[in-house]
Amino acid sequence: MWKMAISALLMMLGATAAQAAGGERIQVKGEIIDTWCYYSGVMGGPDAVVGSAHHTCALWCSAGGIPVGLLAEDGTVYMVLKIEGDANSAGGDTQLKLASHEITADGMFYRRDGLNYLVVEKVVTDHGITNLNHEDYGPIPGFAIPDPTK
């Protein structure tokens, strides 16, 4: 029984290696985002969970292990698997330094099961936080503050 499991694992690893070889080098410009808040809607719509209005939350989520994403200018979201050799991509210092920043990234793009993945080999340009939407939403969007009467 365990021999079949090992054979299945080896076949799976072989398929994974073959798929990894099928990556495509791309360069993409976009904002490093907090994927939990972006996809869950827990802190508001997509326009409220980006930029300076969401920066503090993005730091907490990244430090807590939530994977970061790259929201491209065309609206495509890439799950970031690694940035410039950082072994702790989900909550490493690299992501804390880049949270909410607009960057131009060069790396390998993979698509699997309907998801876009990006291994960022180089941050070509760090444009800083360019989406200053705290002017519209404040440092914390009002709808994200719990209502004490409920």
- Average of per-residue pLDDT across 104-125: 95
User: 77-83 and 115-128 as β-strands: parallel, antiparallel, unpaired?
Assistant: parallel
Higher pLDDT: 93 or 84? It is 84
The predicted-structure confidence for 13-61, as pLDDT tens digits, reads as follows 444 444 455 799 999 999 999 999 899 988 878 887 898 888 888 888 8
Tell me the domain boundaries of the chain.
22-128
Alpha-carbon span 110 to 88, nearest angstrom: 19
How much is the pTM?
0.74
Q: Which range has highest mean pLDDT (10-14, 36-40, 109-113, 141-145)? A: 109-113
**Cα–Cα distance for residue pair 71/41, rounded to 1 Å:** 15
The stretch 66-81 carries a mean pLDDT of 94
